[in-house]
Amino acid sequence: MINREELGKISRVVVKVGSKILTPQNSNEHLERIADLVYSISQLIDNGVEVIFVSSGAVAHGRIILNLDSKPKTIPLKQACAGVGQIELLNIYQRKFARQNKVCGQILLTWDDLRDKNRYLNLRNTLYTMLDNSIIPIINENDSVGIDEIKFGDNDSLAAQIAMVTNADLFITLTDINGLYTANPKKDSDAKHIPLVKEVTQELRKMADGEGSDVGTGGMVTKLNAAEMVTKAGIVGLVADGYNNNLIDAINNPKLGTLFLPTRERMSSRDRFIAFTDTVSGKIEIDKGAKIAITQSGKSLLPAGIINVDGEFEAGDTIEIFCNSVLCAKGIVNYSSDEIIQIKGKHTVDSQKILKISRFGSVVHQNNMVHVK
């Protein structure tokens, strides 16, 4: 069923589908695309692959039902569209999956559901339980209650997070373009298709067009960011055309889509949470010697290597660690920002005398640190 050489054995897939694929344009062609997508997902499941489905399109469907001429401009109107459209979209999915003898279930999320560790674990347990009971999770951002502070902003980011929550083998985002090109092929006839990416570079970012469609919120930039996120966690990414192509074909045909290879070994669940999901409360700047110690020698971060502290945080918070203004690690800190300001640049013994405590030798222990490449 999945035979592209670079993929190897795939047992769990997260499939994200963009609004343009799912939303009516001038006729009911979207129903044919949805039916084909549902059939392909069912094929994967019948061949032993677990599938988690991240669906956009609620706001776009609601906009059509409410006869709006353009995207809703205000948050309340967007929330109203989401509430109306989500019912329509899920009814379509339920009917079409039922024809394939499949059961689906809905989960609506905001950032808070992932950033809170207990809710993160509850979500993971729910998703695993649904998969264990042959239920296809259909996930969307909870736009009907979402505000800027708790929004993902685009479902590419949400889907990437879900891929990491569930330790997926493959992350797929389907759009209306055949992956990444050297320029926007809708604007530049000389644009060349890029079938394989081993690392997301600044040059690649310049090739991506940041504009979304009239019915969606993302563009190729959001898909590139999502692909980079999952590959840094050790997961394969695929950006492909789900508007004109079949999902199974997009997975298997090397000429279809852009495949993003992992840039590191698979991270543990805890490391993925620290690196990509947990709320960052502050920053620490370290010297070059400390960077070498934590990134190359596997050492913990000691007070002596700290140059500067930015932000206010408490012991137990997650912080970012920079060297020469370049992010090199994230970790759970053992001291508050006020305490670190007092001991930065000091030897461990002197630090304990300054604070009059003997809590920890390290500011961030190596076991609570994730290197960011």
The arithmetic mean of pLDDT across residues 28-32, rounded, is 85
User: What tokens appear for 100 in the block?
Assistant: 């394939």
The whole-chain average pLDDT of the chain stands at 88
Place of tokens 């409360």: 281
> What confidence score (pLDDT) does residue 33 get?
92
- Tens of pLDDT along 294-308? 999 999 999 999 999
Name the DSSP class of 267.
P
CATH class held by domain 5-271? alpha beta
- Does 81 score more than 80 pLDDT? yes
pLDDT surpasses 80 at 200: yes
Which residues of the chain does CATH 2.30.130.10 include?
A: 279-371
Q: Which two tokens stand for residue 191?
A: 């644009």
For residue 318, the model assigns a pLDDT of 94
Tokens of 80: 């109203």
pLDDT digits (tens, 9 = 90+) for 240-293: 999 989 999 999 998 999 999 998 888 888 889 888 888 899 999 999 999 999
39-61 mean pLDDT: 94
Asked if CATH classification 2.30.110.10 holds for the domain at 279-371, the reply, yes or no, is no
The whole-number average pLDDT for the span 94-121 is 92
User: How far is C-alpha 104 from the geometric centre of its chain's CA atoms?
Assistant: 22
What pLDDT shows up at residue 215? 39
pLDDT at position 278 is 86
Q: CA-to-CA distance for 241 and 250, rounded, in angstroms?
A: 7
pLDDT bucket at 216, cuts 50 / 70 / 90: very low
* Backbone φ and ψ of 240, nearest 5°: -145, 170
pLDDT in tens, 325-353: 999 999 999 999 999 999 999 988 888 78
Q: What is the pLDDT of residue 2?
A: 81
Beta strands in 209-324 (DSSP E): 236-241, 258-260, 280-286, 306-310, 318-323
> Mean pLDDT across the stretch 5-18?
90
Report the percentage of the chain scoring pLDDT > 90: 55
Per-residue pLDDT band for 359 (boundaries 50, 70, 90) equals: low
Residue 217 has what pLDDT? 42
- Distance from first CA to last CA of the chain, Å, rounded? 33
Report residue 110 as tokens: 């905001």
For the stretch 181-195, pLDDT in tens is: 888 887 888 889 999
Q: Which segments of the chain belong to CATH 3.40.1160.10?
A: 5-271
pLDDT at 74 over 90: no
pLDDT confidence bin for 214, thresholds 50/70/90: very low
Q: How many CB atoms lie within 10 A of CB 4?
A: 18
Q: What is the pLDDT of residues 135-191, one digit of tens each?
A: 999 999 886 665 554 355 578 999 999 999 999 999 999 998 899 988 888 788 888
